[in-house]
């Protein structure tokens, strides 16, 4: 409880100081760069944009909102070819925006974009215009008769359009195929590599300890992880899959449980990259697809017979039930994907929203009294949400593993 209180106070103090610092920056800029001022010296706080920015994946790993760890950039444009470099080429600054362009690419809110203008240099490093609020601006443009908000970069007094990286969502989530592909190691990918290596080290260390001391009670990390391991085996794997078949699938269940759990806990470390790996639909989709293929490739004749020709029901009803069962094959992994991503992302957004009360009541640093009021409201709410997130980290890892075991158990169950 004490550690949670200290963490929450650290978050609040950092937020208040950031609010005051931002106010001083805006005040100074309003006096020294009047030509670029946009009316009010204090830019309005955007809680939704801030939350989305912090839970999104990116091409830079930011620690304590100040230390920007460069990541490898691997970009491909069909009309240009491959580009390999580190993200520090962008000269990353506040809000993970780059002050420079490199080889025709820029960094906006931590994500790489491509400048879509023939007049813009597509080779080497280029300094972008500083308007006092960064080099990037938002504006509405008309696309197919509709007003769409687009991002632009300022260069030599001109506003140039940006293109986002390609995504394979078919436009469902607002993406699609664009002028370039981003195959870089993002902060989510780096986080998964770190967690995978950490788990590999921990379990190898535990295995060696069991070999060296087979007759002694576990201690240290063994004492913490062994009850979790036995719980998943005895309360999940054996009851749902069966005591004669569970061993074949136990490594998969353990890998899923500890991988999700560790990623959930890793994402709760304050200001350590703001990672939201298990809240990313791409990550949960891959986990769900693994479960989907394991379940269906392990299914026996009874399992498939139950799907396509359910016994014990009238013949004319069987085609209807078969259609429902086939649809259920795809709904099950879909629910796994959405449940995990939704719960983890919701927790991160809630904490960021509570911390954002400081900026909302403080009018982005313009009102110190309002910032103090927001602080007193934010502390208990943030503490409650962080404690709840710790519980959710374990619950969501358990639920994903439990449902995986249940799906596998239904696929390998023998006919009675």
Of 128, 157, 184, the one marking the end of a domain is 184
Considering 169-183, 199-213, 305-319, 366-380, the range whose residues carry the highest mean pLDDT is: 199-213
Q: Are residues 96 and 176 in the same domain?
A: yes
Q: Are residues 152 and 277 in the same domain?
A: no
Q: Higher pLDDT residue, 75 or 214?
A: 75
Q: Are residues 177 and 259 in the same domain?
A: no
CA-only gyration radius of the chain, Å = 26
Q: Are residues 369 and 317 in the same domain?
A: yes
Say what the pLDDT of residue 370 is.
65
Confidence of residue 122 (pLDDT cuts 50, 70, 90): confident
pLDDT tens per residue across span 78-118: 988 999 999 999 998 878 889 999 999 999 988 999 998 88
Say what the pLDDT of residue 284 is.
94
- Residue 197 domain-assigned (yes or no): yes
3-state DSSP assignment of residue 11? helix
Distance between CA atoms of 108 and 99, rounded to whole angstroms? 9
- Residue 42 domain-assigned (yes or no): no
In this prediction, residues 220-240 reach a mean pLDDT of 90
Distance between CA atoms of 271 and 355, rounded to whole angstroms? 13
The 10 Å CB-count burial string (b at 16+, else e) for 378-407 is bbebbbebbeebeebbeebbbbbbbbbbbb
Task: Please list the residues that pair with 143 across neighbouring strands.
Answer: 146
Q: Are residues 148 and 261 in the same domain?
A: no
- Residue 325 domain-assigned (yes or no): yes
Distance between CA atoms of 17 and 11, rounded to whole angstroms? 10
Tally of structural domains, the chain? 2
- Residue 13 domain-assigned (yes or no): no
Q: Are residues 271 and 391 in the same domain?
A: yes
Distance between CA atoms of 115 and 178, rounded to whole angstroms? 12
Q: Are residues 265 and 406 in the same domain?
A: yes
Distance between CA atoms of 130 and 146, rounded to whole angstroms? 30
Say if pTM beats, i.e. exceeds, 0.85: no
Distance between CA atoms of 263 and 256, rounded to whole angstroms? 11
What does the DSSP 8-state code read for residue 386? H
pLDDT tens per residue across span 314-335: 888 888 888 988 999 999 999 9
Whether 395 has a pLDDT exceeding 90, the answer reads: yes
Q: Are residues 366 and 230 in the same domain?
A: yes
State both tokens at 405: 């075991």
Q: Are residues 382 and 397 in the same domain?
A: yes
pLDDT tens per residue across span 160-177: 989 988 887 655 566 788
Q: Are residues 107 and 193 in the same domain?
A: no
- Residue 322 domain-assigned (yes or no): yes
Q: Are residues 224 and 285 in the same domain?
A: yes
Confidence of residue 390 (pLDDT cuts 50, 70, 90): confident
The domain of 87 spans: 67-184
């Amino acid at each position: 409880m004490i550690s949670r209180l200290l963490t929450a106070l650290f978050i609040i103090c950092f937020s208040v100081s950031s609010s005051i610092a931002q106010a001083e920056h805006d005040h100074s800029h309003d006096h020294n760069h009047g030509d670029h001022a946009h009316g009010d010296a204090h830019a309005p706080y955007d809680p939704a944009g801030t939350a989305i920015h912090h839970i999104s994946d990116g091409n830079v790993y930011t620690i304590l909102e100040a230390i920007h760890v460069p990541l490898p950039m691997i970009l491909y444009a069909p009309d240009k070819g491959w580009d390999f470099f580190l993200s520090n080429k962008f000269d990353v600054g506040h809000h993970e925006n780059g002050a420079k362009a490199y080889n025709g690419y820029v960094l906006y809110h931590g994500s790489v974009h491509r400048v879509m203008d023939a007049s813009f240099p597509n080779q080497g490093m280029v300094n972008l215009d500083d308007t006092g609020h960064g080099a990037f601006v938002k504006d509405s443009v008309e696309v197919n008769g509709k007003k769409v908000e687009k991002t632009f970069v300022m260069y030599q007094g001109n506003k140039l359009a940006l293109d986002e990286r390609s995504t394979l969502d078919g436009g469902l989530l607002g993406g699609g195929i664009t002028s370039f592909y981003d195959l870089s190691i993002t902060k989510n990918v780096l986080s998964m590599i770190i967690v995978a290596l950490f788990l590999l080290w921990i379990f190898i260390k535990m295995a060696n300890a069991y070999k060296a001391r087979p007759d002694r009670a576990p201690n240290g990390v063994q004492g913490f992880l062994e009850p979790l391991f036995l719980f998943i085996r005895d309360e999940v794997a054996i009851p749902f899959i069966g005591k004669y078949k569970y061993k074949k699938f136990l490594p998969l269940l353990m890998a899923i449980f500890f991988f999700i759990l560790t990623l959930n806990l890793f994402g709760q470390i304050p200001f350590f990259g703001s990672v939201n790996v298990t809240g990313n639909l791409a990550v949960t989709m891959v986990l769900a697809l693994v479960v989907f293929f394991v379940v269906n490739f392990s299914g026996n004749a009874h399992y498939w017979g139950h799907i396509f020709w359910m016994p014990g029901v009238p013949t004319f009803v069987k085609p209807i039930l078969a259609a429902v069962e086939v649809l259920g094959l795809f709904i099950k992994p879909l629910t796994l994907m959405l449940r995990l991503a939704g719960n983890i992302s919701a927790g991160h957004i809630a904490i960021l929203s509570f911390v954002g009360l400081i900026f909302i009541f403080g009018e982005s640093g313009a009102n110190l009294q309002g910032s103090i009021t927001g602080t007193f409201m934010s502390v208990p709410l943030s503490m409650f949400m962080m404690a709840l997130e710790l519980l959710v980290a374990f619950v969501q890892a358990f639920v994903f593993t439990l449902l995986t075991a249940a799906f596998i158990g239904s696929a390998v169950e023998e006919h009675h």
